[in-house]
Amino acid sequence: MNQMRRLTAWLRRRDPDLAATRRAARTAVVMPFLFALCAEIFRAPVAGTFAAFGAFAMLLFVEFTGPMAQRLRAHAALAVAWLVLVSLGTLATRSVWTAMVATVLVGFAVLFSGVVSSVLAGATTSLLLAFVLPVSAPAPLSQLPERLIGAVLAAGASMLAVWLLWPRSQADPLSAPAAQVCRAAAAQLRADADHFAGRSAAPTFWECRTCAEKTESSTRKLQRAFTSTPYRPTGLSTESRALVRLVDELTWLTAILAEAAPTVEHGPLGTPESSQVRKTAAAVLDLSAELLDDPGGSSDRLPAGAAELREALTALEDGAAGRLPAPAPVEGGALDHDTFVDSLDVSFRAQQVAFVVLQIAQNVDTARAAHQRGWPDRLLGRVPGAPTGPLTSATERAAAHVEPHSVWLHNSIRGAVGLGIAVVLADVTVVQHAFWVLLGTLSVLRSNALNTGQNVFRALGGTLVGSVLGAGVLQLIGHETTLLWILLPIAVMISGVVPAAVSFAAGQAAFTLTLVILFNIAQPAGVSLILFRIEDVALGCAVSLVVGLFFWPRGASAAVGKALADAYTDSARYLLAAVDYAVSCCVHGSTAVQVPQEGRQAAAAARRLDDAFRTYLAERGPKAVPLDGMTTLVTGVVGLRLAADAVLELWRRSADRVLLEDRAAAQQELIIMAERITRWYQSLADGLESGGPVPQPLESDPKISSRLVAAVRRDLHDAGGQATATGVRILWTGDHLEAARRLQVSIAAAAGAADARIAVVGSA
């Protein structure tokens, strides 16, 4: 019993949520059963081979998400695709050249279609195997019906297994920890609101700090859940992507709450409006947590709560100007800068918190809507609320990746060409079992020539170990078929678990052992056949290495460095454009200002970074940059874009059209601040892309802040001498720019450790 507990604990550490173990257990039950049914009862060895490999592909290589009904629909669609691809693969074997051309075209179509949706991307390996299996084994058309029968049996049994055998939980592994962060942040906001209100029974400074520590602790748990989840670039649905973005936003919210929390026991008090904003934001976070716990529930209350928060935010902005000190100089003629800024600080923090909470609510609602999508939308990857139909959305998404820097395009071309070359080499060298050549190619072909080379040795080493084990098994048991049948499910189970729990090489060894047992049950050939297996896999590995060198020698680390540089550059330009937008709104008489297109460019760059980052997570082999440092750099892009979004949202709500005195001084100071910050981020991007030095974080410039406050107090006031709402927005815009500047500290620390490593891999 203790040994079983230790084994389970070890598996849970190596295989979070036992995902790989669950898939392996299903496959170990279904695959040997189907093979025995066809080979021993129906005496149909061809159907048995296709049923066995079909079950392997549909159960071990695929795990669809969502409600059970949608998972079964996905498996049904996968079955139809298998029938089509098996037919095409059989027809393509009329000659080696038709086989090669068909393999390149089908391989590219299957690999590139993954960019459309997670449903298609998650089935990529299974779909490739559906074509590789028949194209590597030329046969007359009369054999096609038996092959299709095997595929149908595999599909039917797989659907029953997914439905009845150890069903997967519908909950995303990030939902529960994200809900916990939302609730902890809501409790902190309520405590801070009561503290800043100055009530007699309000929480003390230390009680507020305790709430802040609980929020930070919950956020660390969420981040650990994210880094330990085996995400793959083919495994993120729209719902999961929204939750991954939620990790960034909740991390950013936690940082803001830490700054917005009371810093001293007897600090400045807030206003009724700022306390109301905090409490309303807390209510929205609680509603978000409810939807994270139950994504199938009704979301009517969340939009209503978000609308209430926007109303409270408007009241906060309107009331802030009335509470500013009049612009009279203090004794000696100097402006009381600290008094003026302190009067706005608590309100600004509330405004900043409210903006991020609104973003979180929108993301949670997107995840909820994605969870409740219909099957066509899920299959074609249509984002909830998109103005276009599913087919148009899929076409636009695919077209966006037809550009030279697309990671997905690189992977698709490389994989298709590699498989095509393997088909030709298998024929030219008269290799007896072309399937193993293609399997070797498919096993080790990855995004990095360096790691492909590592995988070559691992694949060959694993194949050698598996072959030796297979030879030993055959020597021990001879032709005792009964013992081979007993060993087959055990080998299948091990081959499904060890790639995730141990290593790629161990998985290759277990998979080789499984195939040796399988082929010797179907067609006993003894130990001599094993030498051919090693030769075949070695040839496939060599193809992978050569194709990896020619088509993408830089790898995912360099791609993520380039994507980071682009994202920081575009996001910094977006921030500068947002400030330009704010300045344009300040101009008297402007009634319509175009939203900057830089926002769309920054969003597109962020999506490319998302793809590159997830490819980096999936790339086998050691990581060039530690995951925590890379995550900090990716999250920094989120923070920079959120600062720009906040500036835009602040000025979109502007309704101040009162005739004011000259605003040029305040506008100029904002532009100076924005350009200074933009230049830093552009220097950072240059360093990330080229491997050059990372700039030191900018120091706060009190002279700029003082000039901005002085300009607001001097120029932006009404006839009664009171500062205006526009003046408040200008100061809050400056505060958002300061937040973008403070973000540089953590980014520079992470980039300083990462830039050289990215550059080294990029120049390899």
pLDDT score of 448: 46
* Encoded tokens for 677: 């910050």
115 Cβ contact partners less than 8 Å away, ≥ 6 residues apart: 121, 397, 398, 401, 408
- Segment 246-262 shows an average pLDDT of 83
Residues 6+ apart with CB under 8 A from 415: 107, 108, 111, 128, 445
Residue 95 CA to residue 93 CA, distance in Å, equals 5
pLDDT exceeds cutoff 70 at 671: yes
Q: Which carries the bigger pLDDT value, residue 526 or residue 285?
A: 285
**What is the rounded average pLDDT of the residues 43-51?**
91
Give the amino acid at 186.
Answer: A
Q: How far apart are CA 151 and CA 148, in angstroms?
A: 5
Residue 225's pLDDT band (cuts 50, 70, 90): confident
The answer to whether the beta carbons of residues 698 and 744 sit under 8 Å apart is: yes
End-to-end CA distance of the chain: 50
Per-residue pLDDT tens over the stretch 399-457 = 767 777 676 787 788 888 888 888 887 777 765 566 666 666 666 554 444 445 455 56
| Confidence category of residue 88, pLDDT binned at 50, 70, 90 | very high
Q: Which has more pLDDT, 155 or 708?
A: 155
- pLDDT value at position 23? 87
Name the band, by pLDDT with cuts 50, 70 and 90, for residue 230.
Answer: very low
pLDDT band for position 723 (cuts 50, 70, 90) = low
Determine the Cα–Cα distance for residues 437 and 536; give it in Å rounded to an integer: 5
Tokens representing residue 326 in the block = 């009049």
Average pLDDT over residues 191-201: 75
What domains are there in the chain, each with its CATH number? Answer: 19-170 (no CATH), 175-379 (1.20.58), 555-762 (1.20.58)
Q: Is the pLDDT higher at 723 or at 641?
A: 641
pLDDT at 595 over 80: no
Mean pLDDT of the chain: 76
List the structure tokens of 87.
Answer: 């037919």
Facing residues of 723 across strands?
Answer: 717
% pLDDT > 90, the chain: 17
**CA atoms within 13 Å, Cβ hemisphere of 364:** 35
Q: What is the DSSP letter of 17?
A: G
> 551 near 108, Cβ under 8 Å?
no
Output the pLDDT for position 525. 54
pLDDT, tens only, 515-574: 778 777 766 655 555 555 566 666 666 666 666 565 554 555 667 778 888 899 999 999
Q: What is the pLDDT of residues 133-172, one digit of tens each?
A: 899 888 899 999 999 999 999 999 999 999 998 887 666 6
The model's pLDDT over 454-470, given as tens digits with 9 standing for 90+, comes to 555 666 677 667 767 77
**In terms of pTM, does the model score above 0.75?**
no
What mean pLDDT is predicted for residues 495-523?
Answer: 77
Q: Which residue carries 């996968």 as its tokens?
A: 78
Contact call for residues 107 and 419 (beta carbons, < 8 A): yes
CB 215 within 8 A of CB 254: yes
Over 90: is that where the pLDDT of 580 sits?
no
Centre a 10 Å sphere on the Cβ of residue 348 and count the other Cβ atoms it contains: 22
List alpha helices for 619-763, DSSP H: 627-652, 664-690, 702-715, 725-742, 744-762
Query: Please, how many CA atoms are within 13 Å of residue 478, restricted to the half-sphere of its CB?
Result: 1
pLDDT band, residue 84 (cuts 50/70/90)? very high
